[in-house]
C-alpha cells in the first residue's frame, strides 16, 4: 500500500484498537498517550478536537465530552464530592441550574446562588467546604458580562476553583484562563462546531492535576464523544475565527436597530454603549461582543407568538450559535426549570426573546425582523 498523507484527518470510526502482542499492550500502559486501546478512553478524532480547542484557550490540556451538559457535569465532579459546596452565579444557563439544584443535590453536593449584586463580594456565602464557583463569560440569556480577572482574585482568596462557561464568548472574544480562571467549559454544540449538526462539550484546564481528574471523570462515567462527532466538530472549528467576526458584526448592527425600534422595550447586548458592562466587555473582548443578544417586546405571550409567526426566514429553534440566525424563548425553553420568582428576579419575563445572530447578510435579517415586529 502506498504511503498515505491525508490533509484532513480521517474518521477513526472504531470502538476498539488492536495490539500485536502483550509487549505492545504493556507499552500502552507505560507510555500514556502514545497508543490507543478503546474509544471511550481516547480516540484520534476526539484528541484532535481537544488539542485544537486547548490551543485556542491556552490551557495545559482539554477533554472533550458528549455534550455541553456533560462538560459542566465533568468539571464539577472533577472538583467536588459529596459534602462539598458550590457557588453559582444567579444569572446562569437554566440547564446548569437544573443540574446543580435537581441532580447534584441528590448526591450530596450543595449549591448557593450568588446574587448579581454580590458577584464580587460573596465572602459571607463561602463555607469551609466551598470548592467551586461557576459563572459564564456572558450570562444566558441577558448578557451580563463577568469581570473574570476580578472574580478570579476573589475566588482564589478563598482557595476556590473558578469554572467559567465560555460558550457565548468563545476564545475568539475572551480567554478566561488567561484572566485567572482555573477551568473553562464549552458546549461545543454551539459556536465551536458552529453548524447545528453536532452535540458535544469540552473542558479545558489550567492545572495538570485538574486535567487528570477531568479525564478520570469522563472516562469512568462514560461521557466520551464519538469519533464522527469529534471529526465534525474539529472541521467546524477551522472556520471559528471567520465565523465569529461575522456573528459579532451582524449582532452589533441588529442590536443597534432593535434599540431604536418603537416596539422594542429593551435590548441586552454588550456592544451597546447603554449596556452596564460595555466598557468591561470592550476590554475583555478586544472590541468583539459576541453573536448573542436578547430583547424585550411587551410582556405578552401572544405578542411573542405573533412576532414569531411573522418571521419568514428566522426560525424558532431552542438552541444557539449556528451559522443561521434563530430565535429562542428563554421563559419556555432554557430557563423553564427556574421558579417564577427566580425568572422574575433575573429579568426573564414573558416578552424576552433571545436572538442568536448568524452569518447571513445583515440586510436579510433586518428585513425579517421588521416583518415580525410589524405583526405585534
| Residue 333 banded pLDDT, cuts 50, 70, 90 | confident
pLDDT of 33 higher than 80: no
**pLDDT-based confidence at residue 2 (cuts at 50, 70, 90):** low
Please give the grid coordinates belonging to residue 310.
411573522
Residues 371, 258 contacting (CB under 8 angstroms): no
> Is the Cβ–Cβ distance between 269 and 255 less than 8 Å?
yes
Q: What amino acid positions are annotated as catalytic residues?
A: 40, 93, 165, 190
Is the confidence at residue 325, as pLDDT, over 70? yes
Class of domain 22-237: alpha beta
Query: By C-alpha distance, which of 87, 71, 183 is closest to 137?
Result: 183
Q: Determine the average pLDDT of the residues in 149-161.
A: 98
User: Is the model's pLDDT at 1 over the cut of 90?
Assistant: no
At 235-248, the pLDDT tens digits run 999 999 999 999 99
What pLDDT, on a 0 to 100 scale, did the predictor assign at position 337?
67
Cell numbers for 66: 458528549
Residue 71 has which C-alpha cell? 462538560
**How would residue 54 be classed by pLDDT, with cut points 50, 70 and 90?**
very high
Q: Nearest Cα to 354, choosing from 267, 260, 286?
A: 267
* pLDDT tier for residue 191 given thresholds of 50, 70 and 90: very high
Which distant-in-sequence residues (6+ apart) come within 8 Å of 361 by Cβ? Answer: none
8 Å CB contact between 116 and 91 = yes
Lowest mean pLDDT among 79-83, 177-181, 329-333: 329-333
**In the chain, what's the furthest Cα-to-Cα distance?**
74
Domain with CATH 3.90.1150.10 in the chain: 240-373
- For the chain, where do the domains classified as CATH 3.40.640.10 start and end? 22-237
pLDDT in tens, 86-125: 999 998 998 899 999 999 999 999 999 999 999 999 999 9
Distances (CA, A) of 244 to 60, 169, 237, 320, 374: 24, 9, 11, 13, 30
| CATH class held by domain 240-373 | alpha beta
> To the nearest whole number, what is the mean pLDDT of the chain?
94
Region 267-295: mean pLDDT is 96
* Least confident among 72-81, 159-168, 257-266, 338-347: 338-347
Lowest average pLDDT, out of 62-76, 262-276, 337-351, 352-366, goes to 337-351
Mean pLDDT of 347-354: 91
Amino acid at each position: 500500500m502506498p504511503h498515505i498523507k491525508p490533509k484532513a484527518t480521517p474518521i477513526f470510526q472504531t470502538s476498539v484498537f488492536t495490539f500485536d502482542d502483550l509487549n505492545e499492550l504493556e507499552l500502552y500502559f507505560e507510555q500514556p498517550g502514545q497508543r490507543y486501546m478503546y474509544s471511550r478512553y481516547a480516540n484520534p478524532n476526539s484528541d484532535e478536537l481537544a488539542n485544537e480547542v486547548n490551543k485556542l484557550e491556552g490551557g495545559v490540556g482539554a477533554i472533550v465530552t458528549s455534550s455541553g451538559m456533560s462538560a459542566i457535569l465533568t468539571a464539577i465532579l472533577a472538583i467536588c464530592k459529596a459534602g462539598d459546596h458550590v457557588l453559582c452565579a444567579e444569572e446562569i444557563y437554566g440547564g446548569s441550574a437544573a443540574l446543580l439544584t435537581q441532580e447534584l443535590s441528590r448526591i450530596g453536593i450543595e449549591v448557593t446562588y450568588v446574587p448579581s449584586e454580590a458577584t464580587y463580594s460573596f465572602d459571607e456565602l463561602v463555607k469551609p467546604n466551598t470548592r467551586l464557583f461557576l459563572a459564564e463569560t456572558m450570562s444566558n440569556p441577558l448578557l451580563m458580562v463577568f469581570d473574570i480577572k476580578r472574580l478570579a482574585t476573589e475566588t482564589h482568596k478563598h482557595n476556590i476553583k473558578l469554572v467559567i462557561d465560555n460558550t457565548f464568548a468563545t476564545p475568539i472574544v475572551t480567554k478566561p484562563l488567561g484572566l485567572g480562571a482555573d477551568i473553562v467549559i464549552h458546549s461545543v454544540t454551539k459556536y465551536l462546531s458552529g453548524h447545528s449538526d453536532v452535540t458535544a462539550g469540552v473542558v479545558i484546564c489550567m492545572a495538570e492535576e485538574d486535567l487528570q481528574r477531568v479525564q478520570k471523570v469522563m472516562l469512568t462515567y462514560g461521557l466520551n464523544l464519538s469519533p464522527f462527532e469529534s471529526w465534525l466538530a474539529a472541521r467546524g472549528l477551522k472556520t471559528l475565527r471567520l465565523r465569529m467576526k461575522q456573528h459579532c458584526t451582524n449582532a452589533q448592527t441588529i442590536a443597534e436597530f432593535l434599540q431604536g425600534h418603537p416596539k422594542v422595550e429593551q435590548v441586552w447586548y454588550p456592544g451597546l454603549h447603554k449596556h452596564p458592562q460595555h466598557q468591561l466587555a470592550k476590554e475583555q473582548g478586544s472590541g468583539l461582543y459576541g453573536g448573542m443578544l436578547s430583547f424585550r417586546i411587551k410582556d405578552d405571550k401572544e405578542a411573542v407568538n405573533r412576532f414569531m409567526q411573522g418571521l419568514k426566514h428566522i426560525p424558532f429553534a431552542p438552541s444557539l450559535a449556528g451559522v443561521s440566525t434563530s430565535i429562542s424563548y428563554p421563559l419556555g425553553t432554557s430557563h423553564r426549570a427556574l421558579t417564577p420568582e427566580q425568572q422574575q428576579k433575573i429579568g426573564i419575563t414573558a416578552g424576552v426573546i433571545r436572538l442568536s445572530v448568524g452569518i447571513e447578510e445583515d440586510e436579510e435579517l433586518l428585513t425579517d425582523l421588521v416583518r415580525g415586529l410589524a405583526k405585534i
